[in-house]
Structure 1
């Protein structure tokens, strides 16, 4: 399962300019996957991706090894740097918590950033 989760980060970064990477990224998730961004839940990953690239022009993730948790989820620490659509640059850190179903699709992804307001523009 950790290969799948590593692919999530690789494909996320590539999906900005590569339509095939975007399709491969979206295929990692069930259509009704629960996505939690700093405590706000939404259904489906594709809507988040559309909003993300509306506000960001480039992004690069680095992450620690995904660790299996006692509840069956996986967790990793990550760091990201990017450039917003307005040209400003940023760096953020946080953790991701993921759950994968029996057929290897992500059914739950929670992103907890050190900056609690980081996703306010995507949670509208």
Structure 2
């Protein structure tokens, strides 16, 4: 559960800190499955590419989250989140949604699904 708690802060810090990026990556299993608005990817290398794409497209970004809660009768956890940011183009944005996660037997994040309220949020990452 500690890895989930650290996730959002490390994600935001990773934009400007290589150490934070390495700590962020260490939260995940090597065979992480992540889903972005219904599009599934797998593996830690694909996860790193996604994070770097977010930082390339955004000059600044800050997440807030409500706190991870167990999903009843499953091995999943869920949290609502909000993010504000400034795109590389200079425009600002806000977004809300939820994340659904599963931890492996070592406590690493093995599954992470990002469900944005705006379904166009990750259109640039479909391929």
Q: TM-score, normalised by structure 2?
A: 0.93
Structure 2: runs of 5 or more not aligned: none
Counterpart among 89, 98, 104 of residue 107 in structure 2: 104
SS in 2 for 1:94: strand
- Tell me how far apart the structure 1 counterparts of residues 56 and 126 of structure 2 sit (CA, whole Å): 13
Q: Deviations over 1:31-90 (max 9, x none)?
A: 220110010001131121111111111110110121011211100000000011111100
4+ aligned runs moved over 3 Å, structure 1 = none
> Which residue is equivalent to 1:4?
3
- The Cα of 1:4 is off from its aligned counterpart by 1.5
Question: Does structure 1 residue 47 correspond to structure 2 residue 49?
Answer: yes
> Which residue is equivalent to 1:33?
32
> Which residue is equivalent to 1:91?
94
- The Cα of 1:123 is off from its aligned counterpart by 2.0
> Which residue is equivalent to 1:67?
69
- Tell me how far apart the structure 2 counterparts of residues 92 and 55 of structure 1 sit (CA, whole Å): 15
Q: TM-score, normalised by structure 1?
A: 0.95
- Tell me how far apart the structure 2 counterparts of residues 85 and 42 of structure 1 sit (CA, whole Å): 24
SS in 1 for 2:78: strand
SS in 1 for 2:24: helix
- Tell me how far apart the structure 1 counterparts of residues 120 and 62 of structure 2 sit (CA, whole Å): 20
SS in 2 for 1:41: strand
Q: Aligned residue pairs: how many?
A: 123
